[in-house]
Chain A
Amino acid sequence: MTHVSMTVNGRAVSADVEPRMLLVQFLREKLLLTGTHVGCDTSQCGACVVQVDGAAVKSCTLLAVQADGCAVLTIEGLAPSGALHPMQEAFREHHGLQCGFCTPGMIMTAMDMVARLGPDLDEATIRENLDGNLCRCTGYHNIVKAVAAGARAMAPASAAAE
Chain B
Amino acid sequence: MNASTVTPIGAPVRRKEDKRFITGKGRYTDDLSRPGQAHAYFLRSPYAHARIRTIDTAAAAEMPGVVGVLTGRDLAQDGLGGLICGWMINSKDGSPMRAGAHPALAVDTVRYVGDHVAVVIAETLNLAKDAAAALAVEYEVLPAVPDLAVAQAQGAAQIHEAAPNNTVFEWELGDRAAVEAAFAQAAHVTEIDIVNNRLAPNPMEPRAAIGEYDAGDEAYTLWTTSQNPHVARLVLSAFVGLAPENKLRVIAPDVGGGFGSKIFIYAEETVCAWAAKKVGRPVKWTCERGEAFLCDAHGRDHVTKGRLALDAQGKILGFQVKTIANMGAYLSTFASCVPTYLYATLLSGQYAIPAIYCEVDAVYTNTAPVDAYRGAGRPEATFLVERIVDKAARELGIDPAEMRRRNFITAFPHQTPVIMCYDAGDYAASLDKALEMADYAGFPARRAEAERRGKLRGIGLSNYIEACGIAPSAAVGSLGAGVGLWESAEVRVNPTGNVEVLTGSHSHGQGHETTFAQLVSARLGIPIDQVTVIHGDTDKVQFGMGTYGSRSGAVGMSAIVKALDKVEAKAKKIAAHILEASEGDIEFKDGRFSVAGTDRGLAFAEVALNAYVAHKFPTSEIEPGLKEGAFYDPTNFTFPAGCHVCELEVDPETGTTEIVNWIAVDDFGTVINPMIVEGQVHGGIAQGVGQALMERVAYDGEGQLVTGSYMDYQMPRAEDFPAFKVGMTETRCPSNPLGMKGCGEAGAIAAPPAVINALADALGTQDISMPATPAKVWAIAQARVTRQAAE
Contacts and interface: CB of A to CB of B under 8 A. Distances in A.
Given A100-B509, A134-B204, A41 B22 contact: no
Given A92-B14, A102-B204, A139 B686 contact: yes
Contacts of A37: 28, 204-205, 256
B345 to A, nearest CB: 27
Contacts of A40: 289, 709-710
A99 B289 contact: no
Interface string A6-49: 00000000000010100000001000111111111110110100
A99 B718 contact: no
Contact of B30 (A18, A32, A38): A38
Contact of B28 (A101, A123, A139, A141): A101
7 contacts: A37-B205, A42-B289, A95-B678, A134-B717, A137-B257, A141-B682, A141-B723
Contact of A103 (B22, B676, B687): B22
Contact of A131 (B14, B711, B718): B718
B18 A97 contact: yes
Given A76-B24, A92-B19, A137 B509 contact: yes
B686 A75 contact: no
Contacts of B22: 75, 84, 88, 91-92, 97, 100, 103-104, 107
B290 interface: yes
B511 A98 contact: yes
Given A39-B204, A131-B718, A139-B685, 18 more contacts: A28-B31, A33-B24, A34-B28, A37-B205, A41-B289, A42-B709, A47-B204, A79-B23, A95-B678, A95-B679, A100-B22, A107-B22, A130-B719, A137-B683, A138-B686, A140-B717, A141-B682, A142-B682
A151 interface: no
Given A42-B711, A98-B679, A123 B290 contact: no
B229 interface: no
Nearest to A133: B718
B735 interface: no
B591 interface: no
B37 to A, nearest CB: 11
B412 to A, nearest CB: 31
Interface in B473-513: 508-511
B710 A136 contact: no
A126 B14 CA distance: 23
Interface residues of B, number: 58
Contact of B203 (A44, A97, A99): A99
Interface string A131-162: 10111111111111000000000000000000
A37 B256 CA distance: 10
Interface in B648-683: 675-676, 678-680, 682-683
Given A39-B204, A139-B724, A142-B682, A98 B718 contact: no
B255 interface: yes
A78 interface: yes
Interface string A111-135: 0000000000001001110110111
Given A35-B26, A76-B23, A99-B256, A140 B686 contact: yes
A91 B719 contact: no
A74 B24 contact: yes
A93 interface: yes
B202 interface: yes
A98 B203 CA distance: 11
Contacts of A128: 718-719
Nearest to B686: A139
Contact of B15 (A33, A92, A104, A133): A92
Contacts of A101: 26, 28, 203-205, 256-257
Contacts of B259: 136
B18 A127 contact: no
Nearest to B289: A40
A133 B716 CA distance: 10
B710 A99 contact: no
A28 B28 CA distance: 12
Contacts of A127: 718-719, 721
Nearest to B712: A42
Interface string B6-34: 00000000110111111111101011010
Q: Which of B24, B679, B710 has the most CB of A within 10 A?
A: B24
A113 B717 CA distance: 17
A58 B256 CA distance: 19
Contact of B718 (A32, A103, A143): A143
A160 B687 CA distance: 37
Contact of B257 (A38, A92, A98): A98
A14 B30 CA distance: 23
Nearest to A97: B21
Contacts of A131: 717-719
A44 B710 contact: yes
